[in-house]
Amino acid sequence: MNILYVFAHQEAKSFNSTLKEAAITSLEKNGHDVRLSDLYSMQFKPVLDRDDFTQPKRDDIFNPFLEQMNASKNASFSRDILDEMEKVKWADFLIFQFPIYFTNMPAIMKGWIDRVFAPGFAFNPATQSAYDTGLLKGKKAMVVTSTGAEESWYSEGGPHGDIRELLRYLTHCTLEFTGLEVFPSHIIFGAGNMSQERVDGEIQRYMEKLDSVAPKES
């Protein structure tokens, strides 16, 4: 499979980076082609603004939705967006890995969604292309995330509540919205301060998950 790995952590020596490196090694060993978008190291621009459009439809007023629709038609997004769109088109499977910040993506990952999953490219209200008819239909996706809080905080009846319900704005309203088939999220709870034994166990658990969602190519 062609796999696009969209990754957001600032530190190459972090647990998240260790997990990402292990994943890429394992996926490639299993015969997959992997492309990485390492958002912090790319200094990916998270802010959707006028600079995203090389041939703006209107100069007098900036309407992000209309500009994205127009740029989708004319392939007139800025180069960094076009590059990410090419990777999405190439990919059969998209993995999004990030540490949870406030039950949500870090801003840099949210900016990737805002700018790359543009209307006209990932979905299209004008043609009612969303969910079952989303423009990325046929591809798969998975969210991989670590939380500082322990699992009890993110369970039904816990202070935050069930994390899988809370993440529906992402798994359902964002990823499934574009037509992606979404695997259950892979979540590492209480990742703030882990022993080496725990780290090794979490790497092992993630590799097993990857083997099941992206089986060895034959």
Return the number of the residue (113 or 135) whose C-beta is nearest a copy of itself: 113
Residue 93 CB, shortest distance to a copy of itself, in Å, is: 20
- Between helix 79-90 and helix 107-116 the angle, nearest 10°, is 80
148 is catalytic: yes
* Per-residue mark of binding to a copy of itself, 40-79 (x: CB under 8 A): x-----xxxxx----------xxxxx--------------
Residues in 149-188 that interact with a copy of itself by CB under 8 A: 159-161, 165-170, 172-174, 177
Phi-psi region for residue 179, left (φ > 0), alpha (ψ -120 to 50) or beta?
left
- Please give the Cα distance from 22 to 192 (Å, whole number): 19
Phi-psi region for residue 188, left (φ > 0), alpha (ψ -120 to 50) or beta?
beta
- Between helix 196-213 and helix 15-29 the angle, nearest 10°, is 40
Q: Which two tokens stand for residue 127?
A: 């043609």
Q: Judged by CB under 8 A, does residue 192 bind a copy of itself?
A: yes
Q: Judged by CB under 8 A, does residue 114 bind a copy of itself?
A: yes
Strands 140-146 and 181-182: parallel
- Which of 6, 34, 88, 111 touches a copy of itself (CB under 8 A)? 111
Q: What's at 67, amino acid-wise?
A: E
160 is catalytic: yes
- The set of catalytic residues is 148, 154, 160
The site for a copy of itself (CB under 8 A) is made up of 10-11, 13-14, 40, 46-50, 61-65, 101-108, 110-111, 113-114, 117, 125, 130-131, 148, 159-161, 165-170, 172-174, 177, 192
